[in-house]
Chain A
Amino acid sequence: MAQFRLQGSKVLAVDLAGDSVKAKNGSMVAYDGEMTFKKRTGGGDGLRGVVTRRLTGEHMAVMEVKGHGTCYFADRAHEVNLVRLTGETLYVEASNLLCTDGALRTGTTFTGLRGSARGNGLFTTTVEGTGQAAVLSEGTAVVLRVTPQMPLQVDPGAYIAHTGDLRQHFQSGVNFRTLIGEGSGEAFQIRFEGEGLVYVQPSERETVGGEV
């Protein structure tokens, strides 16, 4: 199985011994040994997956990297977070997914209204199986635990990924003040309930909700 390790906080090094990983298109910065780079039509699921991704806008430009040696990946100097999956599912925005073990399955899932406030559409990418994945964040991400007693609210622009058995819904604090332009700038949150982990970055991307 491919070995993922961090070289500093912004570069992912993957040791390959004839196996393969899927990585964001164009994210290779260096390699030694023998590597081949092949564009993949998307994150799996065959033709149905391709059509889904086209329709949902959650389309990942993915390449398959195969070979012997060490391959280094990085993207726009963003921080890299390693996530080890043992049978569970990781939900992540396609733009934040840097690299996944070749043994992991990727797909697309409906997230409900949440997406529209994030400006990323109504769908998100899922990564499933056993192996490692690397997720990008702007600044060092924190991992927050959600328990049935302790739900979590996250700014849509700061959310990057989650794992576990979580229900999410969108909540809004839009009120009279927001409408007259006196909002606090925190009009929308995603609320997570259940049991799992949520990855949050210390930065807020441009979202439709962020303007309110």
Chain B
Amino acid sequence: MAFTVLNSRMVQARVAPGTTLFSQRGAMLAYTGEVRFTPSITGGQGGVRGMIGRRVTGEATPLMTVEGDGTVMFGHGGHHVQVIDLWGETLHVEADRVLAFDGTLRQGTVFLGSQGGVMGVVRGQMTGQGLFTTTLEGNGSAAVLAHGGVIELPVVPGRPVHVDPQAYVAHRGEIRTRLSTALGWRDMVGRGSGEAFQLELSGTGTVYVQASEEKL
């Protein structure tokens, strides 16, 4: 698909006439050929409604449209880049972790507070990313940023995976997320194990976890 992995921190994308690529603004490192970069006000697809949606929800990392004929190299902040190929599935990822994606993917925003009521709200606070997350859907590739490399863990029915909210990067497939807690009185008095909250993912799909508890 669109992205070639150059090394763990850089990807290269081929831009052909008639195709479009979206990337985080300022993430271009180098390019060859005739390539134009234009700020994308609507930030991907979804038109004006999508734009308003992103403004309101805070899931509004500025994007740019990449068009022309050539190759472009992307990277950001020395972070690891993970390329995720989608075949009709939906990828859930925080907006500021999206480095670049194929123009063929539909971008949207979903409200996570609806999953799990109050715990959904707490989840947003815990991950520090708010209550909304970005979705990418369709056939194409996305390049996602992570601190210190990524492991992919399969999620299968009957075997949920629990992830530290700070280490969670993205997930794909038919997955429900829920914040689970092991909060006891020990945590209240500052004697906790440091693992009071976990994101529980159940269903069928894949979750991407970074080897670090640092945010980007």
Contacts and interface: CB of A to CB of B under 8 A. Distances in A.
A and B interact:
yes
Interface of A: 7-11, 25-33, 35-39, 61, 63-64, 72, 74-78
Contacts of B207: 30
Contacts of A77: 147-149, 210-212, 214
A75 B166 CA distance: 11
Interface residues of B, number: 27
B212 A37 contact: no
B211 A11 contact: yes
A75 B192 contact: no
Contacts, number: 89
B164 interface: yes
Given A29-B211, A61-B194, 13 more contacts: A10-B149, A25-B193, A28-B195, A29-B163, A30-B162, A30-B163, A30-B207, A32-B161, A35-B162, A36-B182, A39-B186, A74-B210, A78-B148
B209 interface: yes
Interface centre among B148, B159, B191 (most CB of A within 10 A): B148
Interface majority SS (helix, strand, loop, mixed), chain B? loop
Given A8-B151, A10-B149, A35-B162, A29 B193 contact: no
Contacts of A61: 194
A32 B182 contact: no
B160 interface: yes
B34 interface: no
B193 A74 contact: no
A74 B167 contact: yes
A32 B162 contact: yes
Interface in B182-210: 182, 186, 191-195, 198, 207, 209-210
Contacts of B195: 26, 28, 37, 63
B210 to A, nearest CB: 7
B183 to A, nearest CB: 11
Contact of B191 (A35, A36, A39, A72): A39
Contacts of A10: 148-149, 211-212
